[in-house]
Amino acid sequence: MLTERPLQIVSMDFVIPLPKSRRGNTALLLFHCTFTGFAMAKAMSDTPALCVAHAFEECVYRRFGARSLVRHDRDPRFTSDVFQAFAEMMPFRSRATLSYRPQANDQQERSVKTVTQLVRVYAEDPLQQDWDEIVERLVFAINNSQDTTRKETPFYVVHGWDAQSTLKATASSLKRGFGRQSDALAWRREINRQQEIALKMAKEYQAVEKARRAGEHNDSLSRQEKACLPRPRVNENSEDNLEDAEDTSLTEKLAHRWHGPFRVKKKVEEFAYELELPDRSGYRFYPVVHVSRLKAVKAFGDPPKVRLTRELTDEARLDFDEELLPEDSWEPDMLAGEDEVESILDN
């Protein structure tokens, strides 16, 4: 059955188990409209079928009237004779999903997951055991959040108007008149400016408080735990900073290792080349390698750039035995294109 109007089909499920609140509540019954995504919740301490019927009558029937269809899982409290008799009295049809196909009621399961995570995070603090009082505000926030599928909030789809915030309600309560229009506009601008300043101050306070709590936490650590903390990086090249600076270089085990050199056999693709591996080389990698993993190697080094002088001073002479050198070692060589001959014979 496809829903055609708001709150025509309502799904329900339990959010359990939850930590016990100050009022003794340990469960949360969540109702969800499949057409609009509108959510309703009821905190409960006991969950028999009769209490489930009372919660449905309080949260759904009193606010929106009778429904056409109610979907739920195969929980014994929903499939009991008491709740089925209540469904015939309202009247509405009750349909349970299959045990091996929970995605038939996917919107309800997603809402249960969201509410469960939020309530558990809030109740982690031992001083915050009033989750049953906060859950109504939590559901209100969910109903006023933008839905990515419907492009509207569930509150707007159900009621036809958006719920106003405290600031908007206060700003719209000004007296209207020709002489007060400019004053009201200036007042609203001042309120918005004060709100931005308050938010900025709150962010700064949060940053300072986080730094303070982090410092207290680090001071309470042991010596071994402090050694594992990351050290700040240093930009100045001073001796004091170099001693405390973090060594970001890779160890020999984790450093990048180059193999080769290998001759490029052929170009397979635009960014892949096949290498010519030597026979019985022991390399086990595939010969086709991406170009990003290759580095050009110079077979011959750069030519020397230092020129030798013809005349050497005594200080610049090398320490070697000059007596063993030939007699013409100190004479300059012939220029290019000249050859030495003993004699020219005329024929």
Query: pLDDT grade, residue 310 (50/70/90)?
Result: low
Output 309 or 225, whichever has higher pLDDT: 225
Lowest pLDDT segment from 6-15, 125-134, 254-263: 254-263
Query: pLDDT grade, residue 256 (50/70/90)?
Result: low
Q: What is the pTM of this model?
A: 0.46
Rounded to whole angstroms, how far apart are CA atoms 167 and 192? 9
What percentage of the chain exceeds 90 in pLDDT? 1
Please tell me the predicted confidence (pLDDT) of residue 321. 61
Query: pLDDT grade, residue 241 (50/70/90)?
Result: very low
pLDDT tens string 279-292: 766 667 778 888 88
Q: What is the mean pLDDT of the chain?
A: 75
CB count, 10 Å around CB of 34? 21
Please tell me the predicted confidence (pLDDT) of residue 300. 64
Over residues 181-206, the mean pLDDT reads 81
What percentage of the chain exceeds 70 in pLDDT? 67
12 Cβ partners below 8 Å, 6+ apart? 29, 30, 31, 32, 56, 70, 71, 72, 78, 108
Under DSSP, the state recorded for 339 is -
Query: pLDDT grade, residue 133 (50/70/90)?
Result: confident
**Which of the residue ranges 143-152, 155-164, 203-212 has the most confident prediction, judged by mean pLDDT?**
203-212
For strand 9-15 and strand 27-33, is the pairing parallel, antiparallel, or unpaired? antiparallel
Under DSSP, the state recorded for 102 is G
In this predicted structure, the answer to whether residue 212 has a pLDDT above a threshold of 70 is: yes
pLDDT tens string 14-66: 888 788 888 888 888 888 888 888 888 888 888 888 888 888 888 888 888 88
Please tell me the predicted confidence (pLDDT) of residue 244. 47
Long-range pairs for 233-238 at CB < 8 Å and ≥24 separation? none
Lowest pLDDT segment from 20-34, 231-245, 260-274, 302-316: 231-245
95 Cβ partners below 8 Å, 6+ apart? 69, 70, 71, 72
**CA distances, 227 to each of 143, 211, 248 (Å):** 48, 19, 15
Please tell me the predicted confidence (pLDDT) of residue 259. 76
In this predicted structure, the answer to whether residue 336 has a pLDDT above a threshold of 60 is: no
Contact between residue 19 and residue 7 where contact means Cβ atoms under 8 Å apart? no
Please tell me the predicted confidence (pLDDT) of residue 313. 66
For strand 288-290 and strand 272-276, is the pairing parallel, antiparallel, or unpaired? antiparallel
Output 256 or 243, whichever has higher pLDDT: 256
Structure tokens at 127: 């001083």
Contact between residue 274 and residue 264 where contact means Cβ atoms under 8 Å apart? yes
Under DSSP, the state recorded for 47 is -
Nearest residue to 6 (alpha-carbon basis) of 138, 160, 162, 163: 160
Domain chopping of the chain, boundaries: 9-159, 164-222, 263-293
Structure tokens at 341: 């001959």
**Dihedral sign of CA atoms 313, 316, 317, 319 in order:** positive
**1.10.110.30, 3.30.420.10, 3.40.640.10, 2.60.120.260: CATH of 9-159:** 3.30.420.10
In this predicted structure, the answer to whether residue 139 has a pLDDT above a threshold of 70 is: yes
Contact between residue 32 and residue 38 where contact means Cβ atoms under 8 Å apart? yes
Please tell me the predicted confidence (pLDDT) of residue 72. 80
In this predicted structure, the answer to whether residue 237 has a pLDDT above a threshold of 50 is: no
The single-letter code of the amino acid at 31 is F
